[in-house]
Amino acid sequence: MKAVAGLLAGALVLAGCGHPSSSTYGSGDVGRTLETAQGSVVSSRPVKISGDTNAVGPLAGAAAGAAGSGIAFSGADNTGLIAVLGGLLGAGAGYFAQKQLNNREGIEYVLQMDDGRTVTLVQNRESDEAPLPEGTPVLVQVSGQYARVVPDPRAERVGGADWVDPDTRPAEESSPIGAAPIGEAGDPEPTEEPPALSGQR
User: Which is higher by pLDDT, 186 or 8?
Assistant: 186
Q: Is the pLDDT of residue 56 over 60?
A: no
Tell me the mean pLDDT in the region 66-85. 56
- Give residues with Cβ within 8 angstroms of 134, minimum separation 6: 41, 42, 43, 44
- What tens digit of pLDDT does each residue of 112-141 get? 999 999 999 999 999 889 999 999 999 999
22-36, 53-67, 172-186: which has the highest mean pLDDT? 22-36
Q: Which residue range is the domain that position 143 belongs to?
A: 33-49+105-165
The number of folded domains in the chain is 2
Residue 145 is predicted with a pLDDT of 84
Give yes or no: residues 56 and 150 share one domain. no
Catalogue the E-assigned strands of the chain. 36-49, 104-113, 118-124, 137-141, 148-151
Give yes or no: residues 86 and 160 share one domain. no
Residue 19 is predicted with a pLDDT of 84
- Single residue among 60, 78, 102 that ends a domain in this structure: 102
Query: Is there a domain that residue 183 lies in?
Result: no
Residue 129 is predicted with a pLDDT of 93
pTM beyond 0.85, yes or no: no
CATH number at residue 43: 2.40.50
Please state which of the ranges 18-32, 65-79, 178-192 shows the lowest mean pLDDT: 65-79
Query: Is there a domain that residue 133 lies in?
Result: yes
Distance of CA 62 to the CA centre of its chain: 35
Give yes or no: residues 78 and 152 share one domain. no
Give yes or no: residues 146 and 131 share one domain. yes
- Single residue among 84, 102, 120 that ends a domain in this structure: 102
d(CA 13, CA 5): 12
User: Which is higher by pLDDT, 168 or 183?
Assistant: 168
Residue 70 is predicted with a pLDDT of 52
Give yes or no: residues 43 and 132 share one domain. yes
User: Which is higher by pLDDT, 155 or 48?
Assistant: 48
Q: Is the pLDDT of residue 92 over 70?
A: no
Residue 159 is predicted with a pLDDT of 54
Gyration radius from the chain CA atoms: 34
Instruction: Work out the burial of residue 108: count CB atoms within 10 Å of its CB; fewer than 13 is exposed, 13-18 middle, 19 or more buried.
Output: middle
109 with 44: CB under 8 angstroms? yes
Give yes or no: residues 94 and 111 share one domain. no
Give yes or no: residues 98 and 17 share one domain. yes
Give yes or no: residues 89 and 124 share one domain. no
Residue 142: band (very low, low, confident or very high) from pLDDT cuts 50, 70, 90: confident
SS (H, E, C) 39-80: EEEEEEEEEEECCCCCCHHHHHHHHHHHHHHHHHCCCCCCHH
Q: Is the pLDDT of residue 194 over 70?
A: no
Give yes or no: residues 57 and 154 share one domain. no
Give yes or no: residues 1 and 71 share one domain. yes
- What tens digit of pLDDT does each residue of 16-53 get? 457 889 999 988 889 999 999 999 999 999 999 987 65
Give yes or no: residues 62 and 110 share one domain. no
Give yes or no: residues 74 and 159 share one domain. no
Query: Is there a domain that residue 187 lies in?
Result: no
21 with 129: CB under 8 angstroms? yes
- Single residue among 102, 125, 141 that ends a domain in this structure: 102
